[in-house]
Amino acid sequence: MFPLRRNRRLRSNEAIRSLVRENFISANDFLVPLFVVEGKGVKEEIASMPNYYRFSLDLLKEEIKTLWSLGLKSVLLFVKVDDKLKDNFGTEALNPNGLMQRAIKTVKDTCPGMLVMTDVALDPFSSYGHDGIIENGKVINDATVDVLANMSISHAEAGADFVAPSDMMDGRILGIREALDQSNFIDTGIMSYSAKYASAFYGPFRDALDSAPVDLVDIPKDKKTYQMDFANRDEAIRETEMDIQEGADIVMVKPGLCYLDIVRDIKNNFNVPVAVYQVSGEYAMLKAAAEKGWLDHDAVMMEQVTSIKRAGADIIASYFAKDVVMLLNKS
């Protein structure tokens, strides 16, 4: 067809490029992960996540106001729990006055319009650093689902809008949905980490929460018996299909960049909103390369989040959310 079709005509200047551009990024795309700790006046930088912090509740308030003023309207809460409060059953996760429950209330008191999603999994509360209860050297499924269901009720009671189970136990979406409904939390949503891979990109997050699996004989050293094998693609469809059948309102693919084929598969196969989690290791990689002067931080960041959206993400959970929106506001 050349030279009738010269594709470069549509690229010849910014005006025509912006006219034919297919994907745009705005504050509306983002879910902001936040790390919360006990204490007062605490804003500590996470060593492996430059310019990302753990906040105590008083400073969480300030951060929430900042996010809201930037147009960021949804947060995903994680808590760092004192080692003394951890046990095999994640008992502290159910404490109605626990850090997560107080964090939810703090966000809602500060900014009632802010959508609050909460991480539901045992690992920050587990003395073994696993997402479930350990019995005879194994992460056991069904007893863990019971705890996750109770944890979800507890978060809903504290005011969470959505619970986000990140544990990858079988049947947990159904267990959580039934538990929420029986407790009359019919409007509390579920964002399921449905295709969550056993990834080495979670390292900095485990530093942030001090939640890595412990190194003990008889305890699994990794999460490969519940998180998915990164070599698999069909399995992501199976997992997602089941989570939707069990009642997930939003499904998620995690991590982001290495898994954009999965994002597109899921987008093409199902008609529920798809979230993508651009995880801690992805954030750390870019920060490190930019610090060395090897990559242009802002340009690569925009390319990454736009690519995640192009792949099919309706929602992007990202540590870059604030950076992106501040950059957009400048231009």
Annotated binding-site ranges for Mg(2+): 239
Give yes or no for a contact between 132 and 226, defined as CB atoms under 8 angstroms apart. yes
Would strands 74-79 and 115-120 be described as parallel, antiparallel, or unpaired? Answer: parallel
CA 253/CA 283 separation, integer angstroms: 16
Q: Minimal distance in Å, beta carbon 185 to ligand PBG?
A: 21
Q: For ligand PBG, which residue of 119, 239, 243, 246 counts as binding (CB under 6 A)?
A: 119
Regarding 239 and contact with ligand PBG (CB under 6 A), the answer is: no
Please name every residue paired with 164 in a beta bridge, in sequence order, or none if there are none.
119
The window from 21-29, 116-124, 150-158, 243-251 that contacts ligand PBG (CB under 6 A) reads 116-124
- The SS3 of residue 253 is strand
Please name every residue paired with 316 in a beta bridge, in sequence order, or none if there are none.
30, 276
**Helix, strand counts (H, E) of the chain:** 11, 12
What CA–CA distances, in Å, run from 242 to 72, 248, 270? 31, 9, 11
Residue with tokens 């690229």: 11
Q: Minimal distance in Å, beta carbon 1 to ligand PBG?
A: 46
- Residue 84 among the catalytic residues: no
Q: Which residue from 23, 71, 18, 10 is spatially nearest to 303, judged by alpha carbons?
A: 23
Q: Minimal distance in Å, beta carbon 219 to ligand PBG?
A: 14
Regarding 131 and contact with ligand PBG (CB under 6 A), the answer is: yes
- Residue 254 among the catalytic residues: yes
Of 40, 105, 108, 196, which residue is the catalytic one? Answer: 196
Regarding 123 and contact with ligand PBG (CB under 6 A), the answer is: yes
Regarding 304 and contact with ligand PBG (CB under 6 A), the answer is: no
Query: Site residues for ligand PBG, window 264-303 (CB under 6 A)?
Result: 279-280
Q: Please give the positions annotated as active site.
A: 196, 254
Interface residues toward ligand PBG, by CB under 6 A: 119, 121, 123, 131, 166-167, 202, 205-206, 223, 279-280
